Amino acid sequence: MLARSRIVTALVFVVALSALVFTAPTRAAAPAKAAPAATDAKPVDLNTATSAQLEAIPGIGKSLAERILAFREKNGAYASLDDLLKVQGIGEKSLEKLRPYLVVAKAR
């Protein structure tokens, strides 16, 4: 009787484990579909962007967009994306998340 209950317990464990193994890749693959849509958009030029264009970027709200524009008005054109580190509220981690969505066009 004890051997039979161990076999049943082992079978339940194997079934539960296989359910986790075979469903995990499906859940992990779903977010990958959303990422290409975000990268398909043309990056916004930091030196010509409007507040609305900046707010459309994930991670930039109204107040941060206003601080980015105020910094540009006060200090002139951005020389590189790294200049965003000088804007209050943008640190290294935030900048890395914003990089795919922003560019600094070369002066003509």
Q: Where are the domains of the chain?
A: 1-34, 44-103
Nearest CA among 42, 74, 67 for reference residue 56: 42
Nearest CA among 67, 60, 98, 69 for reference residue 82: 98
Tens digit of each residue's pLDDT (9 = 90 or more) over 45-95? 999 999 999 999 999 999 999 999 999 999 999 999 999 999 999 999 999
> Quick one: pLDDT band at residue 2, thresholds 50, 70, 90?
low
Assigned CATH class of 44-103: mainly alpha
Segment 92-101 mean pLDDT: 96
Segment 28-50 mean pLDDT: 67
User: pTM, whole model, 2 decimals?
Assistant: 0.62
